[in-house]
Structure 1
Amino acid sequence: MKYLVLLTPAAGKKVEDIAPHMVPEIKAVWESYNNGVLREFYFSASPPVVTLIYEVADEATLHSELDRLPMIQEHLLDRQVVALGPFVQFQALFDKSLLGPA
């Protein structure tokens, strides 16, 4: 299953709190990427958001992966997880009952 993960600084945390953990964090992200569970990663500076796309068996496995990240362990980042699925709305293109009157 595919998951979108948004990581944002925890309440009250500043760049100064996070900076010393950057190298271990990036190494952990690289390890997940090399292991094939982390598929994509992005960063937005303002507001600061790290976006990760994981592909794992289930949400428990995902949280296990996230719990290995040093900044999560140090409670420096909050996480938001969104399970991604197929875009079933395409069904409207082919299901005549959903089209309404012509």
Structure 2
Amino acid sequence: MKFLVLLTPVAGRDPAEFRPYAVAEMQAVWNDYKAGALREIYFSPSPLIVSVIYETSARDELETLVARLPMVEADLLSVQIVEMGPMHSFEVLFAPTAA
């Protein structure tokens, strides 16, 4: 299953709080990439959002991976998970038209 994970700073957190976790966070992300679970990652500076595409066998597996990210564990990043699936609406293109 594919998931879009949106990571955003928790309100009220100071940017300096993130620095001690930067290397550990990148190591964790790199490990997920090497393992094949993390497929894509993007950064938006304004508003600050890290968008990550994960592919796992189940949502609980993904939740475990994301929960162990150092900045998530430290309550610096909030997590929004969106399950992604096929776009079945394209089928309308091939449906017989009404007379």
Superposition TM-score tier, normalisation by shorter sequence: over 0.9
TM-score after normalising by structure 1: 0.92
Map 1:31-46 to 2 at 5 A. Answer: 31-46=31-46
Deviation of the 1:100 alpha carbon: 5.0
> How many Å apart are 1:29 and its aligned residue?
0.1
1:13-24 correspondence runs (5 A): 13-24=13-24
Partners in 2 of 1:60 and 1:95 — Cα distance? 36
Residues 8-38 of structure 1 deviation map (CA, whole Å, 9 limit, x = unaligned): 0012112111122111101100000000000
Segments of structure 2 that go 5 or more residues without pairing to the other structure are none
Identity, in percent, stands at 44
Normalising by the residue count of structure 2, what TM-score does the alignment of the two structures yield? 0.95
**What is aligned with 2:29?**
29
CA distance in 2, matches of 1:46, 1:77: 15
CA–CA separation in structure 2 for the residues paired with 1:58 and 1:33: 17
Question: What is the RMSD of the two structures over their aligned residues, measured on CA atoms?
Answer: 1.1
Q: 1 CA distance for matches of 2:35 and 2:24?
A: 16
Counterpart CA distance in 2 for 1:5 and 1:29 is 12
Output the amino acid matched with 1:60. D
- Figure out how many residues of one structure are paired with residues of the other and give that number: 99
Moved over 4 A (4+): none
